[in-house]
Amino acid sequence: MDLRLLDAEPTTDERAAIDAFLGPPVSTWAGADAVEDGHSAHGGHAARAQRHQLLPTLHALHEKAGWISPGGLNYVARRLTIPPADVYGVATFYALFSVQPRAPRVLHVCNDLACRCAGSDKLIEALTERVGAHGTDTDGATWEPSPCLGQCDRAPAAFLIQSGEDPTERELTNVDAEALIEILYGATPAFPKSATPPQAGQPNLRLLRRIGLVDPESLDQYRAHGGYAALRRAFDIGPEGVLREVLDSKLMGRGGAAFPTGRKWDAVARQPRRPHYLICNADESEPGTFKDRVIMEGDPFSLIESMTIAAYATGCERGYVYLRGEYPLAQGRLEGALEQARHHGLLGEDILGHGFRFDIELRKGAGAYICGEETAIFSSIEGYRGEPRNKPPFPVQRGLFGPPTVVNNVETLVNVLPIVLEGGPAFAQIGTERSTGPKLFCLSGAVAQPGTYEVPFGTTLRELLELAGGISAGGSLRAVLLGGAAGSFITPDDMDLKLTFEDAREFGTTLGSGVVLGIDDAMDLPELLMTIAAFMRDESCGQCVPCRVGTVRQEEALARLASGRTRGTVQDELNLIAEIGQAMRDASICGLGQTASSAVESAIARLAVFTSNGGATP
């Protein structure tokens, strides 16, 4: 294939950044100087086989240059033998990349649900007044509003990116305007600490039991507190034994779809095609979600051990952690844990002398909510735009690079450790008949003690809120957003809802990724719905018409309702929103479009927003 390359050339620094990641070019196909006779070339197949390196190569370029210039983009295209149009399509897909010149120091300030409840609107007003409008380059620094950064337990939050010779990424939590302005102008922020769950140290914990008590960077401490005992038992009972325990546990996926984990693992294990791949979906971008971050920051070895067990049971030799791009602390902790695991024979060619080969690669996202969808992860890792794929074929049949693939999120995987140690039937005794085991919930918003909480399935919403100290002082409960932006609103009259998959389904809601966002009477509900609608519109990948158009039309209708300038009556607009929602549910390719109207429609139905008794319409 002849590539239509651009005329633009990379700067010396851009070329160096790309070559430092990919290695020096070894052929003209990959950007090396042409041979003297100009009639021969080699290495074309090898260069084309590197497309899966596109996303990390763009990260390397962006960290060095602060943006992806035409020259840098062109050199990436040459090195990986990808048409520049394809590279541009991928680069523009992700929110953390810029294809326009930008200040080297960028502060992303969250203005999503939990941070709004914590006063982020005032932070943004102060930045606008004292620094200038977002996107304005002020002495090499700028700021941008951001969707949820996954720091909802420590809101309001921001995310600092500094490009150049010494690139830096840093989470900023519990921030105020003065601190943000100082950091924007060059002050060095304090090194972040991993969050300690409010229940830390309690004896009944399974998933959170080490967090806050054990040094997350010490393999020795992890082992001293029970680490790698589950892997040793897995080797004792064999792959079939592990599968049997997971099936007997009735473990359901914790990412939102609630698919039986044992059935997924068993389906991949029995596929004759090789190799098999394992992906840990750590791209938790649902607004209000942060439980996986807490595990990765506070107990990274538990994820590595559980992935090793999953790979052993399903015949995988290669695993990937697809990590959210806004989680640099988790990235550092995982990288350190992976290095120690390899050094001590817990990853690699012959794990613990049992002849099992498995290793894990960390892949960093770049700000795309849709990449939490399991097939969109495949596209992203393979070097394409992170767009979902039609199913069937399902990932257990045809997944990453084509072969069968297991995809589980962090919480699902770490549940495997107590299952293997205690046995599947014992695990199934926790919770209810159809929702077994412990569950992590992310409490944020107007609650007294935000954080990640571990409770058995069957705990009521009221009991969970009481565990977090109830509603923040001075407020009264208006509603709870359960499941995040793709979830639905619950009224104060429904606080005795049991938190199980079956009870949520019967009620007409979802547990989703475990978001429990408290909303008090001080919060502007129409504004909150506009935030959700804007998020869904912005995060739609645009691949299918129902979602691409429907999310825009939903936001427009909400804007008209909020302003009081409706087309027809208020009821006409509400009917239109319901019709749009039904179309998206019926015809969207993936879960984003199918749930894009869930929160909005539930607020209209249960909270009387925009109707006379809701008191929201001007």
Q: What is the 3-state secondary structure (H, E, C) of 486-526?
A: HCEEECHHHCCCECCHHHHHHHCCCCCCCEEEEEECCCCHH
570-577 long-range contacts, CB within 8 A, separation 24+:
570/610, 570/611, 570/617, 573/610, 574/604, 574/610, 574/611, 577/601, 577/604
Residues of CATH 1.20.1440.230 domain(s) within the chain?
A: 525-614
Report residue 133's pLDDT band, with 50, 70 and 90 as the boundaries.
very high
Q: Would you state the pLDDT for residue 49? A: 87
Q: Would you state the pLDDT for residue 48? A: 73
Pick the CATH number of 219-428 from 3.40.50.620, 3.40.50.11540, 3.65.10.10, 2.60.40.10: 3.40.50.11540
* Complete edge-to-edge strand list for the sheet that includes strand 451-456: 451-456, 438-445, 515-520, 477-482, 488-490
Where is pLDDT greater, at 535 or 35?
535
Three-state SS string over 336-405 comes to HHHHHHHHCCCCECCHHHCCCCEEEEEEECCCCHHHHCHHHHHHHHHCCCCCCCCCCCCCCCCCCCCCCE
Q: Does pLDDT of 345 surpass 70? A: yes
For the ranges 35-39, 165-169, 262-266, 339-343, the lowest mean pLDDT is seen at 35-39
Q: Alpha helix locations (H) across 254-327?
A: 261-269, 291-298, 300-314
189 preceded by a cis bond (ω within 30 of 0): no
Report residue 219's pLDDT band, with 50, 70 and 90 as the boundaries.
very high
Q: What is the pLDDT of residues 63-105, one digit of tens each?
A: 999 999 999 999 999 999 999 999 999 999 999 999 999 999 9
Calculate mean pLDDT across residues 282-288. Answer: 96
Give CA–CA dist 260/268, Å, rounded: 13
Cα 545 to Cα 194, 408, 551, distances in angstroms: 41, 28, 10
Q: Report the Cα 536 to chain-centroid distance in Å.
A: 15
| CB-count burial class (<10 Å; 0-12, 13-18, 19+) for 249 | buried
Residues of CATH 3.40.30.10 domain(s) within the chain?
A: 105-184
101 preceded by a cis bond (ω within 30 of 0): no
CATH architecture of 438-520: Roll (3.10)
Calculate mean pLDDT across residues 391-396. Answer: 96
* 442 touches 409 (CB < 8 A): no
Report residue 475's pLDDT band, with 50, 70 and 90 as the boundaries.
confident
Calculate mean pLDDT across residues 346-351. Answer: 97
Calculate mean pLDDT across residues 510-539. Answer: 96
Q: What is the pLDDT of residues 290-318, one digit of tens each?
A: 999 999 999 999 999 999 999 999 999 99
CATH architecture of 105-184: 3-Layer(aba) Sandwich (3.40)
Contacts of 306 (CB under 8 A, 6+ apart): 230, 413, 414, 415, 416, 417
What's the one-letter identity of residue 37? Answer: D
What's the one-letter identity of residue 326? Answer: E
What fold, for 525-614?
de novo design (two linked rop proteins) (1.20.1440)
Looking up tokens 């003297």 gives 36
Q: Would you state the pLDDT for residue 468? A: 97
Closest C-alpha to 234, from 352, 127, 85:
352
Q: Does pLDDT of 590 surpass 60? A: yes
Q: What is the pLDDT of residues 250-281, one digit of tens each?
A: 999 998 889 999 999 999 999 999 999 999 99
The chain-wide mean pLDDT, for the chain, equals 94
Residues of CATH 3.40.50.11540 domain(s) within the chain?
A: 219-428
Q: What is the pLDDT of residues 34-60, one digit of tens each?
A: 554 455 555 666 777 899 999 999 999
